[in-house]
């Protein structure tokens, strides 16, 4: 069913509703209208990395981990499987007349905000700091969720529109000020691509204001840009209880009635919250018209028609057995394997079974389920922690010793014990082992969303890049024992890993790898698979040069604008092989530049890796300060194998943005860099390989 047909059917259905019935459908928990055969429907569901909050579902790596895979096809496959499970669960729940929250088909994912500051707790929900990577993975995720059938498989939602990435503590009252150049260059491209190229069905507003206007009632964002410039035809939903913030925190209205009227008039169709209970009063007071109520109701009913919720669809027979199917669990493991980033390796990895007879596993995240899942997660029928994974893969011939080592944050594990009461045990384990794995980091209770976290002092954000003191002391104590140390960092964001890099044999960024992620990690440690993840965010040396968290200017932020050297750069990640670029030739086409690339694995181990393309405009005064990502391709190479690949760069990626926000082609000379990391000095130093540059002149 196309949108025109769905809209006609929606208009006919809505025309038979009273104004009271129409208004009732604008809340996320829309009631049934029995006389018209309309069942109750709850619009709120989540699908960042699996169907969330409604019982059992396959648990994939958190979104930031999926971003580290750098692969559009795998991203789309993940979302397609999530949509399959959402349909399977919806079909089963509907048969039981269970239409509760988190059980519908409107998935409030993906989160395509730019992870501009490493302190932001919700950055784990995003695809990192780069607009190109974010929009490419975002489009793939939307296409996977929505499918290509006669009806929408599920309805995806691009959130949070727009200019939203912390701080969490003041999001309900904060005004994010962004220049026209930063808006067009950084904050809006992913949203535009999901609307104009992937036909995302819904867009969710943010809590904050942007340039003075509350995002869920913004004439500029919703009217001028989203529906005007981009011609968005789907529905717009508020973030949850964001409209209440209009009068309680932003102070742009006087009361709930005025807030409801403002949001509806500016184009917010659906209220996650309860402020739209005042819509009828606003109508009676002449603040909104029946036509405006009707328009929102039609948009929402159009989505329900496109999902086949009224007439049925080809997805109605998807069985419950698809939930946590063997295929889905295997793909989740595959995504976890590909998401883990090897940051340092002095040769200790992969572990050699002929030499390693006793392995120590220590750390508060070694046997923690919370370290696996990240926020907005479902429930798995099985969890495999790092300790359990190592034990499974090591087999009976290798002894595993374990110590918790420290608490996540407190200075002791047992309340009546002395400070750091598990440090001695961790040292004993290290001294009795051939190699020791130290699992540290954070979890969703320490970084995440305001209100959904135990991190009360920062409302889900981090105050700095340091590991908790207890964990840092643990690493230092174990490293001093002389046994080779492998640090596995479970976080959804960049941390200060400088001590681990200097004093430990290997360092890996695990992200939150999914419910069975410990098994994937163990397989990688033992060399069954080579690591191949890439950093979708910069790991900074410190925050000394970082602008204030509340400053939304991009100056000095992310690899595209930073002036100092990164500790671990965006796009960096090692493998057990040694992939190198041998040659690059550029072919100009009408709407793109096609790069013909020769790559070779000059190592002794087969591996996957990600070829990355960066471009620098050599002419324009409007060009970004540094090079920027414009293409990528995941590939597999046997040891010693040489391959020819093509990477197509759309001409739009060569445009620049003026200070007034105009995007245009400006200049003729461009330098492309093709390699397996950025062309910066630090990436070359860490990897031992260089990107190959090729200059292109446009006529």
CA distance 185 to 625: 12
Token pair belonging to 538: 């910069």
CA distance 329 to 533: 19
CA distance 473 to 450: 28
Written as one string, the DSSP assignment of 487-520 is: EEEE-SS----HHHHHHSSEEEE-----TTHHHH
Indicate the helix (H) or strand (E) that contains 146: helix 131-146
In the block, which residue shows the tokens 């790092």? 386
CA distance 72 to 296: 33
- Strands, E assignment, 75-177: 157-161, 175-176
Cβ pair 173, 245 in contact under 8 A: yes
CA distance 538 to 535: 7
- Residue in 46, 197, 204, 202 with CA at minimum distance from that of residue 113: 204
- Strands, E assignment, 365-472: 399-403, 435-441
Token pair belonging to 650: 């759309």
Instruction: Tell me whether residue 666 is one of the annotated catalytic residues.
Output: no
Residues 6+ apart with CB under 8 A from 590: none
CA distance 580 to 577: 10
- Residue in 493, 500, 446, 491 with CA at minimum distance from that of residue 473: 500
CA distance 469 to 419: 12
C-beta neighbour count of 600 within 10 angstroms: 17
Catalytic residue (one of 182, 239, 245, 496)? 239
The residues assigned a catalytic role are: 239
């Amino acid at each position: 069913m196309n949108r025109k047909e769905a809209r006609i059917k929606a208009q006919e259905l809505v025309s038979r509703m009273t104004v009271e019935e129409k208004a009732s459908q604008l809340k996320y928990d829309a009631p049934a209208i029995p006389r018209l055969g309309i069942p109750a429907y709850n619009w709120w569901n989540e699908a960042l990395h699996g169907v969330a909050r409604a019982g059992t579902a396959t648990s994939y790596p958190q979104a930031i981990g999926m971003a580290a895979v750098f692969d559009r096809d795998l991203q789309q496959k993940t979302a397609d499987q999530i949509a399959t499970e959402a349909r399977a669960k919806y079909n089963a729940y509907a048969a039981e007349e269970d239409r509760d929250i988190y059980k519908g088909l409107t998935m409030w994912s993906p989160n395509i905000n730019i992870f501009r500051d490493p302190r932001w707790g919700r950055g784990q929900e995003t695809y990192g700091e780069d607009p190109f990577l974010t929009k490419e993975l975002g489009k793939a995720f939307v296409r996977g969720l929505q499918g290509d059938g006669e009806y929408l498989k599920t309805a995806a939602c691009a959130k949070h529109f727009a200019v939203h990435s912390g701080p969490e503590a003041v999001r309900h009252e904060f005004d994010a000020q962004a220049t026209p150049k930063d808006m067009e260059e950084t904050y809006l491209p992913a949203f535009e691509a999901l609307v104009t190229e992937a036909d995302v069905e819904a867009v969710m507003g943010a809590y904050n204001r942007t340039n003075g206007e509350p995002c869920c009632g913004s004439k500029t964002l919703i009217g001028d840009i989203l529906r005007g410039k981009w011609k968005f035809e789907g529905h717009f939903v508020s973030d949850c209880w964001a409209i209440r913030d209009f009068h309680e925190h932003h102070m742009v209205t006087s009361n709930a009635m005025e807030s409801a009227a403002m949001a509806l008039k500016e184009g917010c169709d659906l209220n996650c919250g309860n402020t739209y209970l005042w819509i009828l009063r606003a109508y009676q007071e002449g603040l909104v018209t029946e036509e405006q109520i009707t328009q929102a109701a039609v948009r929402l009913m159009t989505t329900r028609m496109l999902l086949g919720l009224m007439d049925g669809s080809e997805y109605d027979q998807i069985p419950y057995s698809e939930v946590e199917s063997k295929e889905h669990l295997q793909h989740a493991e595959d995504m976890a394997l590909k998401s883990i980033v090897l940051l340092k390796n002095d040769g200790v990895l992969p572990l050699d079974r002929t030499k390693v007879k006793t392995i120590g596993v220590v750390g508060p995240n070694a046997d923690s389920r919370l370290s696996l899942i990240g926020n907005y997660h479902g429930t798995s029928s099985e969890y495999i922690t790092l300790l359990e994974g190592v034990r499974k893969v090591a087999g009976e011939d290798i002894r595993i010793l374990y110590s918790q080592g420290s608490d996540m944050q407190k200075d002791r594990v047992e309340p009546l014990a002395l400070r750091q009461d598990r440090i001695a045990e961790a040292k004993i384990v290290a001294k009795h082992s051939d190699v020791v794995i130290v699992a540290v980091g954070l979890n969703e209770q320490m970084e995440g969303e305001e209100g959904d976290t135990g991190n009360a002092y920062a409302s889900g954000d981090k105050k700095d890049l340091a590991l908790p003191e207890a964990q840092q002391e643990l690493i230092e104590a174990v490293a001093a024992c002389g046994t080779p140390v492998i640090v596995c960092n479970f976080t959804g964001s960049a941390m200060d890993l400088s001590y681990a890099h200097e004093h430990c044999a290997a360092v890996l960024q695990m992200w939150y790898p999914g419910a069975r992620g410990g098994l994937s990690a163990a397989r990688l440690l033992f060399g069954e698979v080579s690591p191949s993840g890439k950093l979708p965010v910069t790991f900074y040396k410190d925050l000394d040069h970082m602008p204030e968290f509340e400053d939304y200017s991009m100056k000095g932020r992310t690899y595209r604008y930073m002036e100092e050297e990164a500790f671990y750069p965006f796009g960096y990640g090692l493998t057990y092989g040694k992939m190198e670029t041998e040659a690059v030739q550029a072919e100009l086409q009408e709407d793109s530049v096609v790069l013909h690339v020769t790559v070779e694995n000059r190592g002794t181990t087969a591996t996957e890796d990600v070829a990355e393309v960066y471009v620098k405009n050599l002419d324009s005064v409007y060009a970004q300060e540094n090079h920027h990502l414009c293409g990528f391709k995941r590939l597999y190479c046997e040891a010693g194998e040489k391959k020819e690949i093509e990477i197509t760069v759309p001409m739009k990626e060569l445009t620049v943005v003026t200070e007034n926000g105009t995007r245009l082609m400006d200049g003729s000379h461009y330098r492309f860099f093709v390699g397996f990391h950025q062309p910066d000095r630090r990436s070359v130093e860490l990897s031992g390989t260089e990107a190959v540059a090729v200059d292109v002149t446009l006529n």
